[in-house]
Amino acid sequence: MNFEHILFHIDSGVATLRLNRPKQLNSFNLKMHGEVREALKQVRQSAEVRALLLTGEGRGFCAGQDLDDRNVAPGAEMPDLGESIEQHYNPLIRQLRDLPMPVICAVNGVAAGAGANIAFACDLVLAARSASFIQAFCKIGLVPDSGGTWTLPRLVGMARAKALAMLGERISAEQAERWGMIWRCVDDEALQDEALELARHLATQPTTGLALIKRALNASAGNTFDQQLDLERDLQRLAGRTEDYREGVGAFKEKRTATFKGC
Ligand code: T3D
């Protein structure tokens, strides 16, 4: 499939998906939603891909919904935003969270509205020092979506989550790192290389084990401690049946570097 609003390729076990509507700061229109959905489907179905790198082209990462697609002129019928969330944003977030591999996000510039919360739904988030995060929803009368009301309090605590969501202030990448919203802030010129290096490293690691780690951590917020202990037992059972576990232990005993196949 030829894509118009994203750049997508697979190389050395890493799928790179670059949002590519730079003039609109990579905000989402229907076509871009469709293309991202298709690319993520390909990632999931590929036997080759063991890590996904999500980033943006130009000076922005993503400014959320393309507001030019929203006709709110006096007299116009108001759009059903619930339908938009149900059909597009929620499936996108679920696709990212459910991918059985690490998802690395390289936030190359401003991440606003759903754009910020899409980044926070990824597993490891790197951001360029000049990048920033804005819960822009309150500025236009909306509610944080794309998982923001779930993710933010867990990342930064309720006091900061409420301030971020109700004030819509711009948070620098450095502050996002200090507050634990992202993994690491890096110099602008180093971002893409560092993100790719991280993705390539992860693509050589025990992918099934990493996917199970992701499942366990994602489930932890909704579980009691006892439920989480049970989940760890079940997932460890699965991890312990992988070839990569056999390889990891074998390599340790033979004092050599393990070569993981991802299964
Ligand atoms: O509707 C539904 O389906 C419900 C779901 C909603 C999810 C959401 O994401 S709602 C939130 C939507 N996003 C926003 O409200 C953010 C709007 N954008 C901004 O606040 C600012 O652009 C930024 C803070 C992101 C960046 O500011 P700045 O000063 O660096 O750039 P700028 O000059 O405002 O924007 C540059 C261009 O991008 C500009 O176009 P122009 O004038 O050069 O032709 C601007 O219009 C365009 N742009 C930025 N954001 C959007 C956008 N165009 C359409 N939609 C956008 N969201």
pLDDT band at 2; cut points 50, 70, 90: confident
How much distance in Å is there from the Cα of 168 to the middle of ligand 1? Answer: 13
Q: Is 263 in contact with 241 (CB distance < 8 Å)?
A: no
Which of 25, 71, 134 gets mutated to test ligand 1 (max ligand atoms within 8 A of its CB)? 25
Angle between helical axes of 207-220 and 225-239 (0-180°, round to 10):
170
> Over the chain, what is the mean pLDDT?
98
How much distance in Å is there from the Cα of 169 to the middle of ligand 1? Answer: 14
Q: E strands of the chain, at which residues? A: 6-11, 14-19, 51-56, 60-62, 103-107, 110-112, 124-128, 132-134, 170-172, 184-186
Burial grade of 222 (CB within 10 A; 0-12, 13-18, 19 or more)? exposed
Q: Is 134 in contact with 169 (CB distance < 8 Å)?
A: yes
Q: Which residues line ligand 1 (CB under 6 A)?
A: 24-25, 27, 63-68, 70, 81, 84-85, 89, 110, 112-114, 134, 136-137, 140, 142, 145
**Which domains, from first to last, does the chain contain?**
6-203 (3.90.226.10), 207-254 (1.10.12)
Which pLDDT tens digit goes with each residue over 46-85?
999 999 999 999 999 999 999 999 999 999 999 999 999 9
Q: What percent of the chain shows pLDDT beyond 70?
A: 100
Ligand 1, atom 15, residue with closest C-alpha: 136
79 CA closest ligand 1 atom index: 1
pLDDT band at 1; cut points 50, 70, 90: confident
How much distance in Å is there from the Cα of 113 to the middle of ligand 1? Answer: 9
